Amino acid sequence: MPRRRTIEIDEELLERARRALGRFTIRGTVEEALRRAADAAEAERVEKAARQARYLAALAVRGDMEVLASDRMW
């Protein structure tokens, strides 16, 4: 549910964002910027998890996981 917020926004930055995002209203510009920021952060988290999974899969092939998980390792 939308809520009304009062914030100060740099007019020059807002205009640059409006042109870059192809929006005509302040609300449209801010919402699109927030959407893109959230999407980028979520995509980065997914990619990081995928990189970690690939690393662990490669580690399992190269290392003895039973030894790594055991007390003998430490």
Q: What pLDDT score was predicted for residue 38?
A: 98
Residue 24 has what pLDDT? Answer: 95
User: Would residue 5 count as lying in a domain?
Assistant: no
Q: Which residue has the higher pLDDT, 49 or 67?
A: 49
Residue 1 lies in a domain: no
For the chain, how many structural domains are there in total? 1
| Domain span at 32 | 11-73
Chain segment 32-66, per-residue pLDDT in tens: 999 999 999 999 999 999 999 998 888 777 777 77
Per residue in 35-48, is it b (16+ CB within 10 Å) or e — as a string?
A: eeeeeeeeeeeeee
